[in-house]
Amino acid sequence: MGVIGCPNLGPEPAKIGEEIIPNGKGVLMVAVKGEGSYSRPLTSSTYTKLSLPSSPPSSNPLTFLESVESGHSAHSIQARIGELLEVKRPSLRMDSQAKYACLGRGEGGVYLRIPTKYAGGKEYNEKIWDHASGSLLIHESGGICTDMHGNPLNFGVGRTLKDNEGIVAAGKDIHSKAVEAVKKAVEEVGKK
């Protein structure tokens, strides 16, 4: 079971074409393995089942969800991944598991977290508490959450995801394309 509380997100997903703006109303999301994922406003006890589209509808272009801090993700490589996937909209940057919450209800198309070591930064192992609930929420919403190589996240090796590198979460149709774009972008950086 995973629970994510986002006190600054709106209780309803943004309409197509709207930016996602924190409004302080709040939302609670719950995912139970094998039973689905659900969302409710903090002001209500009524849950709505979540269903992540396999791929973004043509009327809602692909958007990345990324960390705000450049020390948490290799933004330059992620920008190249966006070019490879023909992303036209600016990335939505926020901290916390709110990125998983937004993706789980169909806002944005891909959550990326490429390690900064690929852009000259420090080595870093993701913490399990930053991704456990979110990865279950994405899975139970119908999406896929893996490391940047497409490997399942291994939460059984201690406090960190030391057997994994980076994070890619997306709907089923776009996930494999995103992993391939990550591979290509990282290879390009390695050749420079």
132 versus 11: which is more confidently predicted?
132
Q: Is the entire prediction scored with pTM above 0.75? A: yes
Q: What is the mean pLDDT of the chain?
A: 86
User: Per-residue pLDDT tens for 25-57?
Assistant: 789 999 999 999 999 998 889 999 999 877 666
| Cα Rg of the chain (Å, integer) | 16
pLDDT of residue 113 exceeding 70, the answer is yes
Domains of the chain from N-terminus onward: 51-191 (3.40.190.80)
pLDDT in tens, 7-24: 888 776 655 444 555 556
**74-106, pLDDT tens digit by residue?**
778 988 999 999 888 877 777 788 899 989 988
What are 15-24's contacts with CB under 8 Å, separation 24+?
16/57, 16/59, 16/60, 17/60, 19/92, 20/92, 20/102, 20/107, 20/108
Distance CA 9, CA 4 (A): 11
Mean pLDDT of 174-191: 92
DSSP letter at 49 equals E
For position 119, what pLDDT does the model report? 83
Helix, strand or coil, per DSSP, at residue 56: coil
